[in-house]
Amino acid sequence: MPGPLPHALIALVLVVGAPETEQRSVGRVLGRLDFPTVTQSAEARAAFLQGMLLLHLFEYPFAEAEFQRAQAIDPGFAMAHWGEAMVHNHPIWDEQTPGKGMAVLNKFAPSAAERAARLASQEEKDYFESLEILYGPGPKEQRDRAYMRHLGRMAERYPDDQEVRLFYALAITGASAGVRDIPAYMESAALSQSVFYANREHPGAAHYLIHAVDDPIHAPLGLEAARALYAMAPDAGHSLHMTSHIFTALGMWDDVVDANLHAVRVSNAMAAERGRSPTHVGHYNFWLLYGLLQQDSQADAKALLRAAYAETRADSRPPEDAMSLDPDNSRVGSMVQMWARYRFEIGDTDTEVVDWQFNTGDAFDPKLTILYVNGLISRDPEEIGQTLGSFRKLSGELRERVMALPRQAPYDLLYLDRLRVIDQQLQAALARSSGDMQTAIRHAAEASLREGAMPYSFGPPFVDYPSAQLLGELQLQQGNYEEAAAAFREQLERSRRKRQALAGLEHAEAASGN
């Protein structure tokens, strides 16, 4: 992987988005895999393999197009239909559209029995049977687990089939519905690693291994895969970004910035192929902003933030789904997340962004985030008290609505835990503003304990202002230098080399004579 890029590339990303707009799917450099098929058409096989590479890299719309192209060349190509159906399951993101998946299967043949009759081998039958389970009747959690068990049996039946092993590894993480379960993730890591060692150019092997180990404790196990994925698949935005999951967990900020600069550039080029405009918000841009802030590259971070704000001002539609708690699902939600991260990392030194306005509509996530930022940064007890009241009213309403849903998604429940941590932090801020530092420290310590008990969520801190860092700052303010140092060390175990926590630790240790 190259060293730090000149930040003139920031200007390239902000001004032109990406230079490439031509249709170039088959020519992408995405890695290498082998998947025996029965088609007699070399062109159909090439399209199918390209679709498989894109599927492994979660570039779902482009994978779908390649599988459909393979079918157009060879209408009887069964596994091309299987591949098209697979794009409607996104296990890591806990997303699935079974109706669309079944529609693809029904296009191939109108019933499970008729589909099985058209298949050439038992392995093809097993692959199709996995989708009959995945998109069949019953609650999603049950179908996900039944699908995982079926793939486990396939992995035993076909021990030399790397694709079966990888889809089994992905199904294991998917059965956790996006919330980290360490024993399951380690099993998935072992499966992915075995394929990666056999084929260091397989994008799925490197990709799934990274997902399984992208936390501060296990991330060193994924560093070789991250380096390999960056080199093997430079033409997919998601593959470039995924490397930064490991770099972020290890605090490798130059690499985080470089990876996401390239991911933004490539993903904007891919969007242009579909007739879409480049964007300065979204997942990759948020991680890019975080990396720039950890580098202390404030000018570049501000340039990106301004571009994102201009974009959302030009298209100020509120989030369509008020109950969507993932900021990446809307332009405004992502913008508010970026704004919050910037304000928390910069503090009160940039007054320009304080009064920026966002059209949040009825969406819970951005409204709660704005209240969180304003309440935690304020030093006015009356303002904090009012903000805390508004935050509790809104979070209580959200909790009632989530618990009334037919299915409580694991991520949504984790999000509710996050709100409890934030409530404790706002109580600490209120006590601090009133001069009651002992109460403030108590609330911050409780917040840190609660946050530490939550499953680790990859990437920038899930609780935007980490609680152990807040505790360290309060202890430092009181002159409790050893306690402050301990809190900052705790934070640095949760988020390696985080700039503010490092500075706090240095201050605490210097003040205590260490």
pLDDT band at 21 (very low <50, low <70, confident <90, very high): very low
Q: Does domain 286-511 have CATH number 1.10.3470?
A: no
For the segment 412-451, what is each residue's pLDDT rounded down to a tens digit?
Answer: 999 999 999 999 999 999 999 999 999 999 999 999 999 9
Query: What is the CATH architecture of 25-179?
Result: Alpha Horseshoe (1.25)
| pLDDT > 70? residue 17 | no
Delimit the domains of the chain by residue range. 1-13+180-278, 25-179, 286-511
Contact 87, 77 (CB under 8 A): no
Q: Which class in CATH covers the domain with range 1-13+180-278?
A: mainly alpha
pTM of the model: 0.92
What percentage of the chain reaches a pLDDT higher than 70? Answer: 95
Q: What integer pLDDT is reported at residue 2 of this predicted model?
A: 42
7 pLDDT band (50/70/90 cuts)? Answer: low
Residues in the chain: 514
Tell me: pLDDT of 22 over 50.
no
Q: Do domains 1-13+180-278 and 286-511 have the same CATH topology?
A: yes
Percent of the chain with pLDDT over 90: 85
Spatial separation of the C-alpha atoms in residues 423 and 440, rounded to whole Å: 12
Q: Mapping DSSP to helix (H, G, I), strand (E, B) and coil, where does residue 89 land?
A: strand
CA torsion sign for 486, 490, 493, 496 is negative
> In degrees rounded to 5, what are phi and psi of residue 244?
-75, -15
Is the CB of residue 167 less than 8 Å from the CB of residue 203? no
Stronger pLDDT, 510 or 513, i.e. the higher one? 510
pLDDT tens track for 143-182: 999 999 999 999 999 999 999 999 999 999 999 887 889 9
pLDDT score, position 20: 39
Q: Is the pLDDT of residue 188 over 90?
A: yes
Concatenating the DSSP letter of every residue in 424-486 gives HHHHHHHHHHTT-HHHHHHHHHHHHHHHHHSPP-SSS-SSSS-HHHHHHHHHHHTT-HHHHHH
Q: Is 208 helix (H, G, I), strand (E, B) or coil?
A: helix
How large is the C-alpha radius of gyration of the chain?
A: 24
Task: Output the CA angle 340-344-345, nearest 5 degrees.
Answer: 115
Say how far apart CA 231 and CA 256 lie, in whole Å.
15
Name the 3-class secondary structure at 39.
coil
Concatenated DSSP letters of 125-152:
HHHHHHHHHHTSSS-HHHHHHHHHHHHH
Structure tokens, 13:
């990303």
- H or E element, residue 96: strand 95-96
pLDDT in tens, 356-379: 999 999 999 999 999 999 999 999
Q: What is the maximum span of the chain, computed from C-alpha positions, in angstroms?
A: 78
What average pLDDT does the structure give for the chain? 93
Which amino acid makes up residue 372?
Y
User: What's the CA gap between 242 and 298, in Å, rounded?
Assistant: 24
Beta carbons within 10 angstroms of residue 137's beta carbon: 8
Contact 288, 307 (CB under 8 A): no
Spell out the residues 6+ positions from residue 325 whose beta carbon is closer than 8 angstroms to its own: 364, 365, 411, 412, 415
